[in-house]
Amino acid sequence: MMAAAMDASRQSYFNFQHLIKGPRSTKAKDWSFQWPLKGFLKKSMLINSSSSQLKSSPLSFHGGSYVHKTGGFHVLSPNISSATSTVVELIDAWDDEYDGVVINPESLPLSVNAFAFALRASLSNWKLKGKRGVWLKILQGQADLVPIAIQEGFDYHHAESGYVMLVYWIPNEPCTLPASPSHQIGVAGFVINDKKQVLVVKEKCPCSCSGVWKLPTGYINKSEDIFDGVMREVKEETGVDTIFLEMVAFRHAHLVAFEKSDLLFVCMLKPLSHEITIDEKEIQAAKWMPIDEVIGQPFYEEDHMTKKVIDIGIAAYEDRYRGFTAHQLASKLDGKLSYLYYLNNNDASKHY
């Protein structure tokens, strides 16, 4: 008798899948749901029955159909004696600016089975409403939901510490949603004092510049401005306080770390202190070095790009070159203040 109930429950679930999504694909057959659906009955289903008792047994309908209602999908049983109506609650989401929806990660069902039902019902609802894209953020503690979403057609977009972002494109046309982040941003600080000595470091790394005296470099942090990032990096590596003067050049490279592109901004900084205290975790040594000694290293004779960066820094120091300075302006696009780097008209007459 228990086996018959289990078979009926499985058939009912697959009928429900067929009604919402159509015939099951070969891909969907790989799913391994657990029966009975225990947590699902508690959170995502409402049972209306002649009996006032809510049973925790598997779904007790055979065949049946579903009707869309506000806030959920009703799965109706043709069994007159039981008069059962089941409501699958839709996942909470809000509209985005691309005529799609963003799922509230805090609203996801707790169990894998409940999530599978609710996701299919919600996708059907969003398709009926003409939505285009669906953004699904799954937190680290919800990682067991990722395979279910992938089976339903979601794709990976990006991941950061604590979560993975998935995306689902509904229209039968090329996806126009924004791509995942494609660049990392680095900064290099050209710091030169009144004695025409450049602040240089030797890094602890097995890279091609190992053992070379070079400009302090590093990556900017999340939500950090370029000029703040370069001053911070110089301070962390050498202990020298500086002030940002201008951005004199930038390099754009591709297929660097994790096959992403890389932007490196070279900035002129004025030293406010001279005592050096190195970060021994990253830096082997740091010192003030005469310009001639810096560019006289064999590495710079062979690396034309790095040598050009030094040449530009020297020209800026000697007032023969003007770079971009930072100006804080408001943008109507996002209503926020941000920095625009550009050359002042008063300085446009000076060229390198």
93-169: what fold?
A: Aminopeptidase (3.40.630)
Say whether 159 sits in a helix, a strand or coil. strand
pLDDT in tens, 167-225: 999 999 999 998 888 889 999 999 999 999 999 999 887 666 667 999 999 999 999 99
The model's pTM is 0.68
Cα–Cα dist 326/334, whole Å = 19
Q: What is the pLDDT of residue 11?
A: 47
Q: What is the pLDDT of residue 86?
A: 59
233: Cα within 13 Å, side-chain hemisphere: 30
| C-alpha torsion sign, points 239, 244, 245, 250 | positive
CATH of segment(s) 183-321: 3.90.79.10
Q: What is the pLDDT of residue 302?
A: 85
Q: What is the pLDDT of residue 229?
A: 97
User: Within the chain, which residue ranges are assigned CATH 3.40.630.30?
Assistant: 93-169
Q: What is the pLDDT of residue 316?
A: 95
Residue ranges for the chain with pLDDT beneath 50 = 1-70, 74-83, 348-352
| C-alpha torsion sign, points 190, 193, 195, 197 | negative
Of the candidates 177, 130, 138, the one whose C-alpha atom is nearest the C-alpha of residue 159 is: 138
User: Within the chain, which residue ranges are assigned CATH 3.90.79.10?
Assistant: 183-321
